[in-house]
Amino acid sequence: MKKSVKRLVGKRVKNQSITGSETTEELFGKAFGAYVGRDLRTAYQIIRRMIKEDHTIVMTMAGAMTPIDFATSCIIPLMKAGLVDIFTTTGANIYHDLQRVKSENWFEVDPYLGDIKLRKNCWTRIYDTAFQENDLFKADTLATKLVQKNDFNHSMTTTEFHYLLGKNLKHFVKKTSDLEESLLYQAYKNQIPIFCGAPQDGSIFLNLALLKRKIGNRYKTQIDLEKDIHEFGAYHFLAKKRWSKKLSIIMLGGGVPKNYSLQPEPYLSQICGVDVGGYDMDVQICDAHLQNGGLSSCTASEAHTWGKTSKECLKNSQYVFADVTSTFPFIVHALLQEGLKKKSRQMIHFREEAIDLLDKAIFKKSK
C-alpha cells in the first residue's frame, strides 16, 4: 500500500479468537474492532490516559442510576480508587441513594407486566426495576430528619448539602455495612464534592418545600446557587493551576449533570475573563442523537465552540452511542483489573483555597 493512501486509514481491522482467559483490557484489543465496540475501546483508552497522566477527573451521572444499584457496582469502586475527584448527578440519584440506605426491597420486574396492576398493588416502577411505594415514605422521613439537624441551618452550596447528608447518615442506619453502598457516604468519606445542577427537581426538596411551610422561620436551609456556580468554577481553576494542571470529564448520560459540569468553563472565560482552556480529555456514554440540537448529545467538538473543551481535547475525546449500563461496567472492570489507582484529590479540603485563588484572579483582571 502506498504511503499516501495508507495515511487515509488506521490499523488493519483484524480480531482474534476469544479464549475466555483474557483480561478485559485484552478483550478490548481482541474483539472490539469496529462500530460502537471500537468507540468503547477508545473511551477506555482515553480514561486510562486520564488516570496515568494524573488528571483531575470530573464524573457526571444522569438519570436514575442509584435505583438499579449502579453506584455500588461501578461508581463507589472508582471513588475508592481515587479515580473520581468531582461528581455531578441528579436529585433523583441522591434521593434514591437515601432510599437504598433504608430499604433493600428493589426487585426486577417485567416492564410490560401492566402498570395499572402494579399501581393497584402499591408498586412503583423505573423501567424494569420496582419497589414498594411505602419505601418512598421511608426515604421522605429520612431526608426530613437529616435536614432538621443543626448542621443544615444555614445557606450552602449543593456540595456542602450533600457532604452534610453523607456525614450525618451514620446516625440513621442500623448496619454500618449499609453505608459502604451509599454514594453520599462514600463521597463524604473520600472528600469528593457532589454537585447537583437542579436540586429542586428531586424528591428531597419536594419534602423540604413542605417542611418549610410547616416550621416557618425555624427552617434555615438554603441552597446558594450563585455560590454553587462559583465553587464549581473555582475547582476547575484550581485543577488547571495545580497537580498535573490537566482537567478531564467522564459523562455517563447527558442531561443537567453534563450541562452543569461543562458550565464552569464559559463561566470562567466568558463571564469572569479568566480563561483556563477547557477540559483536556472528554469521554461520554450516552444514547442521545447528535442531530436534535440537545445538550445531552453535544460532542466535544461542538463544546469547543463554547470554550468548554480545549483544542487538544478534540483529539482526545470519544462519544459512545450506547446505554451506560451495557458498556461502562466493562471499562470499570478493565481499570480495576489492571489495578489502576490515583491519589485522591480530596477536593472538599481545597474548597476555600480554590475560591480564594479564583477571586484573586478575577479581581486582578478587573483592575
pLDDT tens column, 51-99: 999 999 999 999 999 999 999 999 999 999 999 999 999 999 999 999 9
Phi and psi at residue 154, in whole multiples of 5°?
A: -165, 175
User: Does pTM top 0.85 for this prediction?
Assistant: yes
Q: Is the dihedral of CA 185, 186, 187, 191 positive or negative?
A: positive
CATH number of the domain at 204, please. Answer: 3.40.910.10
Report the alpha-carbon distance of residue 284 to residue 63 in Å, rounded: 14
C-alpha distances in angstroms, 271 versus 1, 191, 201, 229, 264?
52, 29, 26, 12, 10
CA dihedral angle for residue 204, residue 267, residue 237, residue 252, rounded to 10 degrees: 50
pLDDT tens, residue by residue, 232-278: 999 999 999 999 999 999 999 999 999 999 999 999 999 999 999 99
Average pLDDT, the chain: 95
- What total number of domains does the chain contain? 1
Give a yes or no: residue 94 inside a domain.
Answer: yes
Does some domain include residue 105? yes
- Output the pLDDT for position 3: 62
Q: Which of 30-34, 41-45, 291-295, 345-349 has the lowest mean pLDDT?
A: 291-295
Domain presence at residue 347: yes
Longest Cα–Cα distance of the chain, Å, equals 78
User: The domain containing residue 50 runs over which residues?
Assistant: 25-366
Residue 304 placed within a domain: yes
> In this structure, is residue 194 part of a structural domain?
yes
Burial of 285 (0-12, 13-18, 19+ CB in 10 A): buried
Looking from the CA of 230 toward its CB, the CA atoms found within 13 Å total 18
DSSP for 184-236, please give it.
Answer: HHHHHHTT--EE-S-TTSSHHHHHHHHHHHHHGGG---EE-HHHHHHHHHHHH
What pLDDT is recorded for position 175? 77
Percentage of the chain with pLDDT > 90? 92
Whether the pLDDT of residue 182 is over 70: the answer is yes
In a domain? residue 299: yes
Mean pLDDT of 354-364: 96
Q: What is the pLDDT confidence band of residue 174, given thresholds at 50, 70 and 90?
A: confident
Helical pair 91-102 and 158-168, crossing angle rounded to 10 deg: 0
Instruction: Please report whether residue 14 resides in a domain.
Output: no
At residue 198, what are phi and psi to the nearest 5 degrees?
-140, 70
- 2 falls within a domain: no
